Amino acid sequence: MLDPWRERDACGVGFVARADGARTRDILSLALTAVARLAHRGAASNDKSGDGAGVLTQIPHRLLGVGPVERVALGMFFLPPQGVDEAVDLIEGALVSLGMSVLGWRVVPVDAGVLGPLAAASQPAIRQVFVGPPSGPANAQAWERRLYLARRVIERRAANAGLEIFVCSLSCRTVVYKALLVGTELPGFYADLRSPLFETGIAVFHQRYSTNTLPSWPLAQPFRLLAHNGQLGSVLVE
């Protein structure tokens, strides 16, 4: 018989949202509180490097000083620390080739001091890119499809170039903040998550418990669209 205690050995995941869709700071605060209370559903190594935690939210337009809604897309990237310039050139080339414009880059403010040694040793450079839409009438759904295609092009070009580029999110609607840590440390690592200007109407949160794969920065969740609390095997999560 399976020990009932082992039923707790799984990732923790949840979702917070406002029924009226209004963007507020409270939604993110609730999500961060919830993921911090899921420590028992996650795991950490003996140096306290967590298996991964994160949140998916709407793009915080007030915090980033961009808008209006769905007129500026945001990409969140893990880039190789020793190859940032080359990675940036590759990403910009892919976006421009698909008719979009690169409006600028942002170094995401982080505090590496909250990471365990293993997580710190593998920490990528974390960057955000602001993207302008293709020419023509604005259509958020069509733009999301174009951004999905851009991500796939970036991934293939990066693989061919031998660059470790991971696209956490690339969307005109949402952004993913995640890291190789436990949920209690998430707002300590990302200064953005502590800002009163970070407003969202939705938030998916996740605390990972690794099963058949070792912890890594890319495997932290949420993914680009969702999060899960079980083993999906060979199912591809986009």
Q: Which mean pLDDT values do the consecutive 10-residue runs of the chain (238 residues) have?
A: 55 82 94 80 58 90 86 95 96 96 97 90 96 79 92 96 95 93 89 97 80 68 59 45
**Residue 11 annotated in active site:** yes
Q: What is the pLDDT of residue 237?
A: 43
pLDDT at position 207 is 84
* Selected catalytic residue, list 2, 8, 11, 168: 11
At residue 228, the pLDDT reads: 53
pLDDT of 224:
58
List, in order, residues 6 or more apart from 158 with CB less than 8 Å away: 87, 90, 164, 165
Q: Residue 149, by phi and psi: left (phi above 0), alpha (psi -120 to 50) or beta?
A: alpha
Q: Which domains does the chain have, with CATH numbers?
A: 16-52+64-207 (3.60.20.10)
Instruction: Say what the pLDDT of residue 126 is.
Output: 97
Listed in sequence order, the residues at least 6 apart from 208 whose beta carbon sits closer than 8 Å to its beta carbon are 11, 42, 43, 50, 51, 52, 53, 215, 219, 220, 221
| Per-residue pLDDT, 134 | 87
Q: What is the pLDDT of residue 234?
A: 40
Question: Strands 166-171 and 12-17, how do they pair?
Answer: unpaired
